Structure 1
Amino acid sequence: MRTAGIIPARYGSTRLPGKPLLEIQGRPMVWWVCERARRARRLDQVWVATDDRRIEEVCRDLQIPVVMTGREHRTAAERLQEASEQVRADFYVQINGDEPLIDPANIDAAVPDEVPLDVEFGTNIIARVKDPAQLCHSSNIKVVFDGSFRALYMSRTPVPYPFCDVSFSYYKHVGIIGYNRKMLDFYKSSAPGRLELIEGIDTLRFLDYGKELRLIPVERADSLSVDTEADLRWVRERMSEKRL
């Protein structure tokens, strides 16, 4: 089985325009994400998928494999699907392009030992919620799963509701998602489902249509998505201290 890590890198961020090219320790952010992804042992190749020639040029200068995709994509999964038409693999792992501290072990966790190729199949990294304040924050997607860690539901609100029992842990979605080709092609050809439209969570499309999404818990998921100038300063300081 051949695996590929795909890093969607969009230039037009509302809060931080040109985010993939912002400098950290003398290198653009996208370079750091690529370097972390390349440490993942279960990826055979790592590519950047971008909509902007400026990002493409920087990637080529830094010898980072890169593919151009359209600007019309609403979600990272749509960009990933287009990239999969240029990068041949059996399984694709979506890696956020704004997490320069992403853990390579968590990327590896998204690649199961066996991947069915004849039916739609995906994986999603999850982590236990340790800070109660995260439960009420709508940006933290809470997940519900069965005994085999197959996804049952995802929500921006705390689920399940502790009506009869409080002796359980909440889990949240972590932005590392794996897809086989059939799952990506299904995403391209399908319309948003009812629950996806209600919650505003595009991953719910797979559950709306009864596709298998296997959730994989990891112990540590403390990477930070760089969305603001304050996030960028924090990451720069931390990487400077660690001399990464």
Structure 2
Amino acid sequence: MKILGVIPARYESTRLPGKPLADICGKTLIRRVYEQAAKSSRLRRLLVATDDERILAEVRSFGGECVLTSREHPNGTSRVAEAAEGSDADIVVNIQGDEPLLDPVMIDETAQVLAEDGTVPSSTLCVPLKDDGTIRDPNTVKVVLDLRGYALYFSRSPIPFVRVKTGCPVYRHIGIYGFRKDFLNTYVGLPATPLSSAESLEQLRILEHGYAMKVAVTQAEAGPGVDTPEDLEAVRRIIGSASGV
């Protein structure tokens, strides 16, 4: 099974321009993400997909593989699909470019869902939500699953609403996606959908069009991502403390 990992990296960011090149204790954000992803035991090949020459130069400077893509992509998955064109991969894993503390086990778990069942078109990851306070945070995306582990719905709202305590688990979605390569091309061509637009969650487009997404439940620790200057400082403190910087 040939598995390709792609890290989409856009230079422009509303809340943190130039984010992939931000320094984190002596290494750029994109380098830290790449080095973590490269530890995956399932990836046959790993590359960065970017729209900016500066990111291209940075990735190549540390020996990583990078391709230059169009600036016109509406989202990261569309950029991933362009980067995967012409590859011989069976499975493509979309790895978020703002997760410098990514546990590579998460990549393996996302890919394994597709590798072990050829009928599953797409996969993603979730982790049990242990902090009740964050269930109301719209930046914490929740997911509910059916009894076979397929996603029923993703939302920024608290789901499920626990009217009666039955021990029903609450899961936080982790933004790593696996696609069978032929389905990836199908997915990026699907028109926008009402729920996906309302929640601003692109993965809902898959469910709204009637396709399935199976979700692996991980016990790996999901470190904080970098979306804002405050996030960047928090990650610097974590990495600096761990490395003695």
Question: Which residue in 2 is equivalent to 1:57?
Answer: 57
Q: What's 2:156 paired with?
A: 156
CA shift, 1:90, in A, is 0.8
Unmatched 5+ stretches in structure 2: none
Which piece of structure 1 moves more, 157-166 or 50-59?
157-166
- AA aligned to 1:39 is K
Letter in 2 for 1:81: A
Q: Distance in 1 between matches of 2:38 and 2:126?
A: 21
Q: CA deviation at 1:31?
A: 0.8
How far, CA to CA, are the matches of 1:100 and 1:88 in structure 2? Answer: 28
Instruction: Write the distance in 2 (CA, Å) between the matches of 1:162 and 1:229.
Output: 34
Q: Which of 114, 117, 120 lines up with 2:116 in the alignment?
A: 114
Using the alignment, how far apart are the partners of 1:234 and 1:190 within structure 2? 37
> 1:30 maps to what in 2?
30
Distance 1:233 1:161 in 2: 34
Q: Does 1:48 align with 2:48?
A: yes
Identify which range, 64-73 or 164-173, moves more after superposition. Answer: 164-173
For residues 133 and 69 of structure 1, the distance between their equivalents in structure 2, rounded to whole angstroms, comes to: 39
2:57 counterpart SS class: helix
Q: How many residues align?
A: 242
Query: What is the correspondence of 1:185-196 to structure 2 with a 5 Å cutoff?
Result: 185-196=185-196
1:14 paired residue number: 14
Q: Which residue of 2 aligns with 1:144?
A: 144
1:204 corresponds in structure 2 to: 204
Deviation of 1:241 (Å):
2.1
Secondary structure at the counterpart of residue 125 of structure 1: strand
2:116 aligned counterpart, secondary structure: coil
Query: Structure 1: where are the runs of 5+ without partners?
Result: none
Counterpart secondary structure, 2:48: strand
Tell me which amino acid in the other structure corresponds to 2:230.
Answer: A
**For the Cα contact (< 8 Å) 1:20–1:55, is it kept in 2?**
yes
In structure 1, distance between residues paired with 2:23 and 2:198:
37
CA-based RMSD of the aligned residues comes to 1.6
Deviation string 1:90-117 (CA, Å, 9 cap, x unpaired) is 111111111111001111111123252x
* Higher mean C-alpha deviation, range 222-231 or range 129-138: 222-231
State yes or no: 1:84 paired with 2:80: no
In 1, the alpha carbon distance for the partners of 2:83 and 2:117 equals 20
Shift of 1:86: 4.3
Q: Indicate if the aligned counterparts of 1:125 and 1:175 stay in contact, CA closer than 8 A.
A: yes
Work out whether residues 120 and 211 of structure 1, in 8 Å CA contact, stay in contact via their aligned partners in 2: no
- Opposite residue 215 of structure 2, the aligned amino acid is L
Is the contact between residue 174 and residue 221 of structure 1 (CA under 8 Å) also seen in structure 2? no
* Distance in 2 between residues matched to 1:57 and 1:228, nearest whole Å: 24
> What secondary structure does 1:130 align onto?
coil
Counterpart code for 1:51: D
Comparing 165-174 and 143-152, the one that deviates more: 165-174
**Corresponding letter in the other structure for 1:38:** A
What TM-score, normalized by structure 1, do the two folds share?
0.93
How far 1:77 moved relative to its partner? 1.0
Partner in structure 2 of residue 69 of structure 1:
69
Provide the rounded CA distance (Å) in 2 between the counterparts of 1:196 and 1:231. Answer: 25
Query: 1-side partners of 2:221 and 2:63: how far apart?
Result: 29
Structure 1: how far apart are the matches of 2:197 and 2:14? 22
Match for residue 103 of structure 1?
103
